[in-house]
Amino acid sequence: MHITKDMISHVAALARLRFSPQEEEKYGEQLSSILDYIDMLQQVPTQPGEELVQGVSQINVWREDIPTGESVRQKIVEAFTDREGDLLKVQAVFEDRGKEEIL
Amino acid sequence: MNTQTIQELSASLEAKEVSSEDLVKASLKMIEEKNSTLHAFLEVFDDALAQAKEIDRRRAQGEALHPLAGIPIALKDNILVQGKMASAGSHMLENYRASYDATVTRRLKESGLVIMGRTNMDEFAMGSSTENSHYGPTKNPWDDTRVPGGSSGGSAAAVASGMVPLALGSDTGGSVRQPASLCGVCGLKPTYGRVSRLGLMALASSLDQIGPFAHRVEDLAWLMQVIEGQDPLDATSSVLEETSVSSLISPDIKGLRLGVPKEYFVDGMDTDVTQKVKEAIAVLERAGAEVSEVSLPHTSYALAAYYLIMPAEASSNLGRYDGLRYGHLLQDGTLIGTYEQSRTEGFGDEVKRRIMLGTFALSAGYYDAYYKKATQVRAKIKQDFDEVFQRVDAIVCPTSPCVAWKLGEKMEDPLAMYLSDIYTLSANLATIPALSIPCGFAHDLPVGLQFMARPFDESTLYRLGMTYQSLTDWHTQTP
């Protein structure tokens, strides 16, 4: 399957990645050649419903929700890249959108 | 340290003929001598000696310790040790310190093993040569112009070169077994669900398993006893019956039915590697195994299915690296811009390639034709194994189609690199256990022999491996 430059920029936007025009070309060629190889899967007769998507057969695995103290929570907070004390700083989610888009 | 089995080391520690401090100092000396060339360790933890002294102190006080207490071990850089750096070989996590212990780490600590440091790997475990590490490649201890395999190349090289007797890696498509093969050591990919994945940075969650490296199969079995078992914090981990290592002391494979898959001996394989594997099978046959040819008809589709499923799961798992929660942050004008800048700068080439491939396979219009189709083919591959395991007790085949290649040789051709995993990734797709052990040399480089067995039947792998190692001495040879 041939991956066009437009498809690369669409997928890059979905994946939150940026590429230069040269990189778009390189990734386009490499993905096209990998997908050409992968196309062999279409030769295998399969039935809908026989997908194998997980490694184990257990379902609904439950456990008690036991409080384990604050130490791990605090360390996770400390790993945050930008914060003031315990407040985690993130840029505004809606800031850059037009009024119509929000409505 | 490396000429002794883990059981012998354990006995020497117990008898106080040697201390944990002695073992750690010997390990540090080897790292000092060899790491500047091999680059197996990214970091040696500064508290390794203190850990050893603490074990020695407890032993001196007469405390009953675990048999493996005081023995040094290395961890792959994607396994969390609380308070220590864990970068997964990536620029993205260059300054990340783990917030908690992985379950395997907790179990190693509880058993008193000494965690020496973290080993090099392909970025986020994506690669087959350890050349995709942001921190530079690891070299093969047998020839430092060649790759050690990957993605757990640092752990394999650390054991092969004698820096540590034990190490852990992770195996998503062969990342323990393939470097074990290329470095001439033993490596195990346990059954999916045998070892908790909590605290292992996720690559592809339906395929990932943590696995051990050692010189001997018996040593792997000892280490597995420490790390395996159900974990309430990993819902995919399984409740296990206790496996007894002592029952393996005099293994016997008389009458064991061994299948040789005809699809694994095809054109394009290094003929010297094929020859070594066939000689190894003959050794097992002479030891009483009943060898027959079997067929796994969907083998030729495994690589294609794997290279959709793995990137699809990876693209989802790596969504968490947004620059905010941890890792590499590059502020841009908008939130989306910040995500894009942080990820574009933080991830390397191969990681971006797989995120792109996986995102494409999951995107609207392509999901059914690619991702869903691949999961249907995965079911066929598992059925192949289910059918074969009705007729035989284990499968024997090569681990890798070739020996260690030259650094840089496959870097520009992703598909050629992916093909080096062709014999290992089926076990991950089928969720079964698989073991690689050294079985000789081709072109003066180590060759690996692989065994696969039914889910949760690691003990058959141990029996086969230990029998082979009792009849041969490949595992005692060192670079």
Q: Do B374 and A91 touch (CB under 8 A)?
A: no
Q: Do A44 and B380 touch (CB under 8 A)?
A: yes
Amino acid at residue number B56:
D
Q: Give DSSP secondary structure letters for A43-61.
A: GS---TT-----S----S-
pLDDT at A102: 45
Residue of chain A nearest B99, judged by CA positions = A75
Check: CB of residue B446 under 8 Å from CB of residue B478: no
Q: Do B298 and A52 touch (CB under 8 A)?
A: no
pLDDT in tens, B80-137: 999 999 999 999 999 999 999 999 999 999 999 999 999 999 999 999 999 999 999 9
pLDDT reading at A35 higher than 80 = yes
∠B420-B454-B229 over CA atoms, to 5°? 95
Q: What residues form DSSP beta bridges with B200?
A: B79
Domain boundaries, chain B: 6-255+434-476
pLDDT reading at A97 higher than 80 = no
Q: What residues form DSSP beta bridges with B434?
A: B189, B452
Q: Do B343 and A17 touch (CB under 8 A)?
A: yes
Q: Give DSSP secondary structure letters for B25-36.
A: HHHHHHHHHHHH
> Is B76 part of the annotated catalytic residue set?
yes
Q: What is the mean pLDDT of chain B?
A: 95
pLDDT in tens, B54-96: 999 999 999 999 999 999 999 999 999 999 999 999 999 999 9
Confidence band of B370 (pLDDT split at 50, 70, 90): very high
Catalytic-role residue among B151, B181, B196, B342: B151
Catalytic-role residue among B19, B34, B76, B128: B76
pLDDT at B371: 95
pLDDT at B243: 65
Return the residue in A8, A29, A41, A78 with the most chain B beta carbons within 10 A, the one to mutate for interface testing.
A41
Catalytic-role residue among B19, B129, B133, B175: B175
Residue of chain B nearest A15, judged by CA positions = B359
> The tokens 């690296």 sit on which residue?
B321
Query: Does the structural domain B6-255+434-476 have CATH classification 3.40.50.1100?
Result: no
pLDDT in tens, B187-227: 999 999 999 999 999 999 999 999 999 999 999 999 999 99
Q: What residues form DSSP beta bridges with B168?
A: B75, B212
Helix (H) / strand (E) element for B117: namely strand B114-119
pLDDT in tens, A43-83: 999 988 899 988 888 888 888 888 877 788 888 888 888 88
pLDDT reading at B331 higher than 70 = yes
B2-25 burial code (b ≥16 CB/10 A, e <16): bebebbebbebbeeeebbbbbbbe
Q: Do A93 and B335 touch (CB under 8 A)?
A: yes
Total Cβ atoms within 10 A of residue B442: 18
Confidence band of B250 (pLDDT split at 50, 70, 90): low
Which of A 56-75 lie inside 8 A of B, CB atoms? 56, 58, 61, 63-64, 72, 75
pLDDT at B451: 98
- Shortest CB distance from B100 goes to which of A48, A75, A92? A75
If we measure between CA atoms, which residue out of B326, B353, B355, B357 comes closest to residue B342? Answer: B326
- Shortest CB distance from B415 goes to which of A33, A44, A48? A33
| Distance (Å) from the alpha carbon of B314 to chain A's nearest alpha carbon | 11
> Is B175 part of the annotated catalytic residue set?
yes
